[in-house]
């Protein structure tokens, strides 16, 4: 999995994922997201358009990061999830917990 980060003011980051998010790559994502959500009021958009696979370990990392961000007054949002990823989050009952948006620009807009 490839991960890149772009920072946007105020205190917002866009994390772009490419490849497979699974048991082998989840620790790298956890480290990257962990640093981003430790900031005050963290706002992180995770662009998942380039993911070709995501298993339960990957879902766990994303959900945990969102919880930590909310504890600090921020959020984690998913941008451009595939229909597979949307169905996975629906099946797990997580669609209402972790917000999903059609694209990065929409996810970056304030509520």
Contact between residue 72 and residue 66 where contact means Cβ atoms under 8 Å apart = no
Ranges under pLDDT 70 in the chain: 110-111
> 53-74, pLDDT tens digit by residue?
999 999 999 999 999 999 999 9
Contact between residue 10 and residue 42 where contact means Cβ atoms under 8 Å apart = no
pTM check: above 0.75: yes
DSSP 53: E
């Amino acid at each position: 999995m490839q991960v890149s980060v772009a920072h946007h003011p105020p205190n917002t980051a866009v994390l772009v994922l490419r490849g497979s998010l699974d048991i082998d790559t989840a620790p790298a994502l956890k480290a990257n997201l962990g640093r981003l959500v430790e900031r005050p009021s963290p706002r992180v958009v995770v662009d998942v358009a380039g993911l070709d696979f995501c298993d339960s370990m990957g879902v766990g990392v994303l959900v945990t990061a969102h919880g930590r961000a909310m504890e600090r007054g921020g959020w984690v949002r998913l941008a451009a999830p595939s229909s597979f990823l949307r169905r996975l989050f629906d099946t797990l009952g997580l669609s209402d917990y972790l917000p999903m948006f059609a694209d990065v620009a929409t996810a970056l807009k304030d509520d």
